[in-house]
Amino acid sequence: MRPGIAADAKTQALGASSELSRRTVLGAAAALIVSAALPTGSLAQESNAPLKFGRDAMPNGWRDDPRVFVAIDREGIVTVTCHRSEMGQGVRTSIAMTVAEELGAEWSKVRIAQAWGDETRFGNQDTDGSRSLRHFFMPLRRAGAAARIMLEQAAAKEWGVSASEVRAEDHMLRHAASGREAGWGEFAERAARLPLPDEKSLTLRPAAEFRYLGKDHTGLIDNHDITTGKATYGIDVRLDGLLYAVIARPPVFGGAVKSFDGAAAMKVPGVLKVFAIEPSPPPTEFNPLGGIAVVAKNTWAAIKGREALKIEWNDGPNGSYDSAAFRASLEDAARKPAKPVRADGDVDAALAGATKRVVGEYYIPHLAQAPMEPPAATARVANGTCEVWTCTQAPQATHDRLAKRLGLKPDQVRVNVTLLGGGFGRKSKPDYVVEAALCSQAMDGAPVKLTWTREDDIQHSYYHTVSVERIEAALDEKGMPTAWLHRSVAPTIGSIFVDGAKNELPFELGMGLVNLPFAIPNVRIENPEAAAHVRIGWFRSVSNIPHAFAIQSFVAELAHAASRDPKEYLLELIGPDRILDAVKLGDVWNYGEDPSVYRLDTARLKRAIDAAATGIGWGRKLEKGRGLGIAGHYSFVTYTAVAAEVEVTDGGIAVRQVDIAIDCGPQVNPERIRSQMEGAVVMGMGLALSAEISFKNGRAEQGNFDAYDLTRIDAAPRILNVHLLPATTFDRPLGGVGEPGVPPVAPAIANAVFAATGKRIRALPLNKEFSA
Amino acid sequence: MVDFTVNGTDKSYDGDEAMPLLWYLRDELGLTGTKFGCGIAACGACTIHIDGEAVRGCVTPISAAAGKAVVTIEALSKDGDHPVQIAWRELNVAQCGYCQPGQMMQAAALLATTPEPTDDDIDEQMYGNLCRCGTYPRIRAAIKLAAAKAARP
Ligand code: FES
Ligand code: FES
């Protein structure tokens, strides 16, 4: 570890590495010495292959070195290092299960430690895109298997028998012929000194032997800490002499402080310092927005101090941003031809010759991720080093932005990762961590905790884009489409990286827009330009949300126009069972995965739709005022479908039952897949029914949970069934889990509302149409 | 000067009595199990017990605790074995877990007055506790499980 930084390891939020280096034998201690000279052969990105996909294509690739991920101490306790951020998806449990399985460990003797931000050592750590297990399941299995083989070899050497006759299982080492056995602690030290087994000799456990993978019984590895209040999130970190900060940021994106007077703020008891933080020039990227910081002896004093600030702002070019007027401009753009991003056949001719044409125009407003734990970070910038403790989805990006802004070398910065109280994409952008470091710097190196209040979070988010999706179809005499013209207009996430960017990027287009899996001969998809007036960022499921809402609502509209059952119509539109190549559909991105491995299988999509429909009892008789709706969607190389039953009364829309089906390939941790689906339904309901961020004069009109209306327990359906569609074997590629549940929720509910009332609502949130 | 107890220990506070208990507990005492979520009594993340009643720490000034007993998640039980905590683990309620201390403190207060809550009771009493991860179905189930456990321990 690095001098000057390691000394503080005991204060690490999750207590990972100091503990390890003191106690452990196989793994950490040795690995710390070895890490500088890790064999480059394990660096996937150095392969000569011309095209890279999946984990090979991620920044800094992947590692499978057991010395990085597995440590065993003299008592035989196994500590697995989790290099992905835990934000509720269960990755710390799933990674521990994966390594424990290959090792043959007893669950009660498995611990988890959180990695700091260091992709050279751990491989890619960006916890986003629903890909932690998709990318690291196999490398981590290999790490566990290699550690198991090293234990077996160490015992074999001591016992004078062949290593192939020694088995590591049930947390023991056994030699059947001689009846010898020993615990792991006894051999951990000797195992650590052995060379790594060569790649070809690694045997993975067959699925038939699995005790943890695909099973439900381990429980959350952090359960006890969470239920006793001991779990440490970014906002909970404490250091000796800690100071507390909040920042007043420009209320309009691109604005700046014109002048300020901090005298009254300085009079608030406990306030220590008031100072300006310079905004960065565009593009805004992950940089702080600038503003006036208040540092105090506790958070309350800092908040009171901020209230006492007198600040005059320059609003800048976005001072007139008005989301209602902007919607009209997006609608205008959606009604005019624009650059095609996919074109099959002759859409214009088919539209011109159609007997029936249907048009739908859909609107999805801005949203804020609003994780329950707002952005927060603790930093100490002193003696030419910077150390931070924070809830981040992007530890390496955080590390790099800190080094850049502070002018430090990479090895002078350390990013300790805590638990995240939710992320949903917001915590992929480390602006708040850089702010904390600037505060510590301004306090001459005293440690400072920066907290975003909820108002800060909701009014300065990296918002989910706002979009208008216009779809027009020509129907034949049977009511099936012969032509499909979709214009998607939405400010792009690219605008935070390239100032003025106006078109959706391949990864946005690939989220359920161009990779439309329907059997329609003539398809044209266009992407008119749209300027961004706020910071646009990833929000769980990202562009799949508007695309799925529009497309799956429109399909139900077509079914209605054709007087057909919406589920049967959707299945027929998806068409015959076939395997689609994303690239041939115009999706060059394919979630970053190899299109020859990850293909869009229409049979799997239909199977998910059928499972959701069967679950809810599709076609059953309903009381008056009730209706069923359905939607299916492919995202993050996973297939999901939602069927919803709603009741619409004078009081509004009530969701009575939801059935959600998912086919994500092999299921590592089915219990967490179910919980992710439950959560996706609730989050999807929030954006379907009530959540919206609107802007006037460039300012967000909502500031807290009184106005930004998210789903509460009374609105959560009393019946919520999750249907996990089994994969046949563990050899199939894994799909994503964290995000794919969300997109089909809103269209299923909108379709159910139509079935209940005959009223088609094409704008989210739906409640707006029903509240007086 | 305000005198009260926190988790059974006597405390005397001599400072800004308008400061909400939330910040006193977190920043001054280091009891970080009580969370900040909104600061305006709209999310329940900061729920604590004062004389056994669930209150929002973010809008309760220290002065309101005078002469009273404040209990936080850290002391809901001695070893994490309150029926609510056991049920929460058994059903793996948590996702990120950030809202859960507040949820459990609210649920414990609910069960103290309503040992056999219906779904309607639960919705009414738990309405103020937001969970952005969407764990509500399991919260409902865990409250019922905890009620059953408390009835026949
Ligand atoms: S922080 Fe107190 S209710 Fe939200
Ligand atoms: S578990 Fe994450 S907010 Fe409730």
**A662 three-class SS:** strand
Phi, psi of A494 (to 5 degrees): -55, -20
Provide the pLDDT confidence category of residue A382 given band limits of 50, 70 and 90.
Answer: very high
Cα(A608)–Cα(A125) distance, rounded to whole angstroms? 31
Going by their DSSP bridges, the two strands A340-344 and A481-489 should be labelled as unpaired
Phi, psi of A470 (to 5 degrees): -115, 125
Provide the pLDDT confidence category of residue A48 given band limits of 50, 70 and 90.
Answer: low
Residue with tokens 């915590």: A427
Does residue A19 surpass a pLDDT of 60? no
**A268 three-class SS:** coil
**A475 three-class SS:** strand
Phi, psi of A410 (to 5 degrees): -50, -40
A348 in the same domain as A211: no
Cα(A727)–Cα(A626) distance, rounded to whole angstroms? 34
> Among residues B41, B75, B109, which one ends one of the domains?
B75
Residue of B nearest to A454 (CA): B38
Residue range A621-631: average pLDDT? 97
Which CATH number is A169's domain given?
3.30.365.10
pLDDT (tens digit per residue) in A190-245: 999 999 999 888 999 999 999 999 999 999 999 999 999 999 999 999 999 999 99
B56 in the same domain as B10: yes
Kindly report the nearest CA distance between residue A447 and chain B, in angstroms.
Answer: 14
pLDDT (tens digit per residue) in A108-155: 999 999 999 999 999 999 999 999 999 999 999 999 999 999 999 999
> Among residues B58, B75, B92, which one ends one of the domains?
B75
A574 in the same domain as A508: yes
What angle in degrees, to the nearest 10, is found between the helix axes of A91-103 and A132-159? 30
Q: How far is the CA of A658 from the centre of ligand 2 (A)?
A: 20
**B108 three-class SS:** helix
Instruction: Please say whether the beta carbons of A627 and A757 come within 8 A.
Output: yes
Q: Is A454 on the interface with B (CB under 8 A)?
A: yes
B99 in the same domain as B47: no
Q: How far is the CA of A155 from the centre of ligand 1 (A)?
A: 55
Residues 408-427 of A with CB under 8 A from B: 419-424
A430 in the same domain as A547: no
B109 in the same domain as B60: no
A662 in the same domain as A562: yes
Q: Where are the beta strands (DSSP E) in A98-171?
A: 110-114, 166-169
Provide the pLDDT confidence category of residue A49 given band limits of 50, 70 and 90.
Answer: low
pLDDT at A352: 95
Which CATH number is B55's domain given?
3.10.20.30
The rounded mean pLDDT for chain B is 97
What angle in degrees, to the nearest 10, is found between the helix axes of B119-126 and B136-151? 120
Q: Is B37–A682 a contact, with Cβ atoms under 8 angstroms apart? A: no
pLDDT at A729: 80
A125 in the same domain as A244: no
Cβ of residue B139 lying under 6 Å from some atom of ligand 2: no
Cα(A378)–Cα(A398) distance, rounded to whole angstroms? 13
Beta bridge pairs of residue A233: A419
pLDDT at A31: 32
pLDDT at A199: 87
pLDDT (tens digit per residue) in A294-350: 999 999 999 999 999 999 999 999 999 999 999 999 999 999 999 999 999 999 999
Report DSSP state, residue B28.
I
Cα(A325)–Cα(A266) distance, rounded to whole angstroms? 41
Quick one: which H or E segment has residue A342? strand A340-344
Cβ of residue B100 lying under 6 Å from some atom of ligand 2: yes
Cα(A402)–Cα(A430) distance, rounded to whole angstroms? 9
Instruction: Please say whether the beta carbons of A549 and A469 come within 8 A.
Output: yes
B41 backbone φψ class: left, alpha, beta (φ>0; ψ -120 to 50): left
Cα(A291)–Cα(A84) distance, rounded to whole angstroms? 32
Q: Which of B37, B126, B137 has the CB atom closest to A454's CB atom?
A: B37
Residue range B39-63: average pLDDT? 98
Q: Is A372–B30 a contact, with Cβ atoms under 8 angstroms apart? A: no
Residue range A719-734: average pLDDT? 91
A356 in the same domain as A405: no
Q: Is A494 on the interface with B (CB under 8 A)?
A: no
Beta bridge pairs of residue A362: A469
pLDDT at A51: 85
**A249 three-class SS:** coil
Quick one: which H or E segment has residue B141? helix B136-151
Residue with tokens 């605008």: A495
pLDDT (tens digit per residue) in A503-529: 999 999 999 999 999 999 999 999 999
Ligand 1 surroundings by CB, under 6 angstroms? B 36-39, 41-46, 56, 58
**Cβ burial, residue A92 (10 Å; 0-12/13-18/19+):** buried
B6 in the same domain as B57: yes
Q: Quote the pTM value.
A: 0.94
C-alpha torsion angle, residues A664, A668, A674, A677 (rounded to 10): -40
Find the radius of gyration of the CA atoms of chain A.
27
**A456, part of any domain:** no
Q: Minimum-distance ligand to the CA of B41?
A: 1
Q: Which domain holds residue B11?
A: 2-75
Residue range B88-99: average pLDDT? 98
A613 in the same domain as A658: yes
Contacts of A230 in chain B (CB under 8 A): 33, 74
Does residue A400 surpass a pLDDT of 50? yes
Phi, psi of A123 (to 5 degrees): 85, -175
Contacts of A233 in chain B (CB under 8 A): 35, 98
A253 in the same domain as A160: no
Cα(A394)–Cα(A186) distance, rounded to whole angstroms? 38
Residue range A421-437: average pLDDT? 98
Cβ of residue A144 lying under 6 Å from some atom of ligand 2: no
Contacts of B73 in chain A (CB under 8 A): 228-229
Our count of domains for chain A comes to 3
Provide the pLDDT confidence category of residue A12 given band limits of 50, 70 and 90.
Answer: very low
pLDDT at A24: 40
**A447 three-class SS:** coil
Q: Count CB neighbours of A41 within 10 A.
A: 10
Contacts of B132 in chain A (CB under 8 A): 370-372, 422, 424, 683, 710
C-alpha closest to that of A437 among A379, A391, A495: A379
Q: Minimum-distance ligand to the CA of B129?
A: 1
Which CATH number is B102's domain given?
1.10.150.120
A308 in the same domain as A207: no
Cβ of residue B85 lying under 6 Å from some atom of ligand 2: no
The rounded mean pLDDT for chain A is 93
Q: Which atom of ligand 2 is nearest to the CA of A373?
A: 3
pLDDT (tens digit per residue) in A303-312: 999 999 999 9
Kindly report the nearest CA distance between residue A619 and chain B, in angstroms.
Answer: 25
CA distances A428 to A129, A135, A186, A385, A405, Å, are 11, 18, 42, 23, 17
Residue range B46-64: average pLDDT? 98
A406 in the same domain as A266: yes
Instruction: Please say whether the beta carbons of A126 and A394 come within 8 A.
Output: yes
Contacts of B131 in chain A (CB under 8 A): 372, 682, 713
**A5, part of any domain:** no
Q: Minimum-distance ligand to the CA of A226?
A: 2
Kindly report the nearest CA distance between residue A711 and chain B, in angstroms.
Answer: 8
**A10, part of any domain:** no
Q: How far is the CA of A371 from the centre of ligand 2 (A)?
A: 8
Our count of domains for chain B comes to 2
B37 in the same domain as B91: no
Cβ of residue A372 lying under 6 Å from some atom of ligand 2: yes
Q: Which domain holds residue A36?
A: 16-228
Cα(A151)–Cα(A184) distance, rounded to whole angstroms? 7
**A158, part of any domain:** yes
pLDDT at A770: 81
**A132, part of any domain:** yes
Contacts of B45 in chain A (CB under 8 A): 372
Q: Minimum-distance ligand to the CA of A371?
A: 2
Residue of A nearest to B90 (CA): A219
Quick one: which H or E segment has residue A673? helix A670-689
H helix runs in A26-131, sequence order = 28-34, 54-57, 66-69, 91-103, 119-122
pLDDT (tens digit per residue) in A437-473: 999 999 999 999 999 999 999 999 999 999 999 999 9
- Please list, in sequence order, all residues whose beta carbon lies within 8 angstroms of the beta carbon of residue A543, skipping any fewer than 6 positions away: A465, A490, A504, A508, A509, A511, A512, A513
Kindly report the nearest CA distance between residue B124 and chain A, in angstroms.
Answer: 7
A249 in the same domain as A209: no
pLDDT at A10: 30
Cα(A610)–Cα(A255) distance, rounded to whole angstroms? 51
Residue with tokens 């990105």: A45
Instruction: Please say whether the beta carbons of A502 and A541 come within 8 A.
Output: no
Provide the pLDDT confidence category of residue B153 given band limits of 50, 70 and 90.
Answer: low
pLDDT (tens digit per residue) in A95-105: 999 999 999 99
> Among residues B75, B105, B136, which one ends one of the domains?
B75
Q: What is the largest CA-CA distance in chain A?
A: 84
pLDDT at A663: 98
A223 in the same domain as A169: yes
Cα(B4)–Cα(A604) distance, rounded to whole angstroms? 61
Q: Is A422–B96 a contact, with Cβ atoms under 8 angstroms apart? A: yes
Residue with tokens 């690995």: A31
